Structure 1
Amino acid sequence: MRADRHHPERTKGVIVTPRTVLITGGNRGIGYAIAEEFVAQGHRVAVTSRSGSGGPEGALTVAADVTDAASLDAAFTQVEQELGPVEVVVANAGITKDTLLLRMTEDDFTDVIDTNLTGAFRTVKRASKGMLKQRFGRVILISSVVGLYGSPGQINYSSSKSALVGFARSLSRELGGRGITANVVAPGFIETEMTAVLPEEQQQDYRKSIPVARFGQAEEVAKAVVWLASDDAAYITGAVIPVDGGLGMGH
């Protein structure tokens, strides 16, 4: 049975208003952890993956490719039919194609931009239609410390992630009066499959640059995202929330 969309419930001692949440790229890594945390807090959760499988228990997994507007539209339609209008959207899907500028092809650059930035545009544009009707919405864009801090070999990736800040702030000015907020979460080095395969010496070098001297956990990013989607964060919009152990120091 679907919970009343507007009836607050008490979860782990905290009063939560259940929302319908859609997370792109929620089948692994940070996206998966975000989905798990929303499920744990009592929300109705859907995730997209290109294969249509792989999401966490308790979440609806739908097939979608953020580079294909038609597949995104179909995914949203399925979620709306099964869980209700999307009230919270987390644009998380992203790729990397790292190489130095002089070796980077135009396809290396445009493919990353199309997934990480234009994919967020497609996702948020489709989500905003329902949010405007409801006069309520939470848009959360997953950026990176690299977006404002910079990193050699990641001109394409850092450009796509930096642009999400301007996206969120422009969206805040457009739709803030309609009960819709837009914020950015910028993770730093997070323990994932990608960091796990790095040589130990390289991992130690990275840790030395982080004031708290450790990598973050995906769950720590997830908790920041879920808080931004909550009623407690209703007066926060256009913000960049770093979850990076102090690496970016507010950049």
Structure 2
Amino acid sequence: SSCIDFFEEVAKFRAMRRLWAKILKERYGAQNPRSCWFRTSVQTAGSSLTTQQPLNNLIRATIESMAAVLSGIQSLQPSSYDEGLSLPTEESATLSLRIQQIIAHETGIAKVVDPLAGSYYLESLTDRYEKEIAKVIAKIEEMGGMVEAVRSGWLENQILEARVIRQKEIEKKEKILVGVNEYKSDQEAKIRIHRIRTVEWERKRRSYLKGFRKRRDAAAVRDALQKVKEVFLTSQNMIPVLVEGVKAGATLGEIHDVMREAIGFKFEY
């Protein structure tokens, strides 16, 4: 994601690009220069969206989008201003699209490769981020890889710790959030939000799935899911067994469940 700390976000993506190229060349011996291109898709941060004065989120998403574009990302999805309250309405989703279009076609910043390169502050920040990110990668490898980092709870704890620190900064006003801990308004503009007919849609979907499961070949589904589980634990291409699973009638939820179970996660419904 691209957050609101403008220079830090630009430096983050630039550091990631450097590391990607180094790892591909030095660890994996990549010969084709195209293999070292860092292709990435970015969404503006949902964590920076506020429910207070939600229209301010349009400005936040625009700034975060510009940071991402200036850092050279390939794909961008700005969050909609009402996502702190509900799923986006057609209006808010369209405005998010307009952010991309205006940046792409009116500002001209997408025409220049790495336009902020050479700035002393940005280059030093990128250097620092590259070193810090490399340390985190090394730590994860020492733990046995990303699967072990997730299984042990380490990754989740890192995220929670960052959230707690940020919330404390907001509560102490060390970090100003416009409309939240400063510049509040007693009369906020009302916006239309998207309302989901949850009960009705759930009832219809449950009814459909019940009929779908009755009509399919249960044995074929069971065999297909077992193949998904077995291949998931190898380095083989997953696509063929996933296609077989879907053709047999396995649902997306069932396919996800067997992959979770394969690495030790099981959900009770």
Q: Shorter-normalised TM-score: what interval?
A: under 0.3
- Per the normalisation by structure 2, the TM-score is 0.26
Asked which structure has the greater CA Rg, the reply is 2
Higher relative contact order (CA 8 A, sep 6+): 1
- Per the normalisation by structure 1, the TM-score is 0.27
Structure whose residues are more often helix by fraction: 2
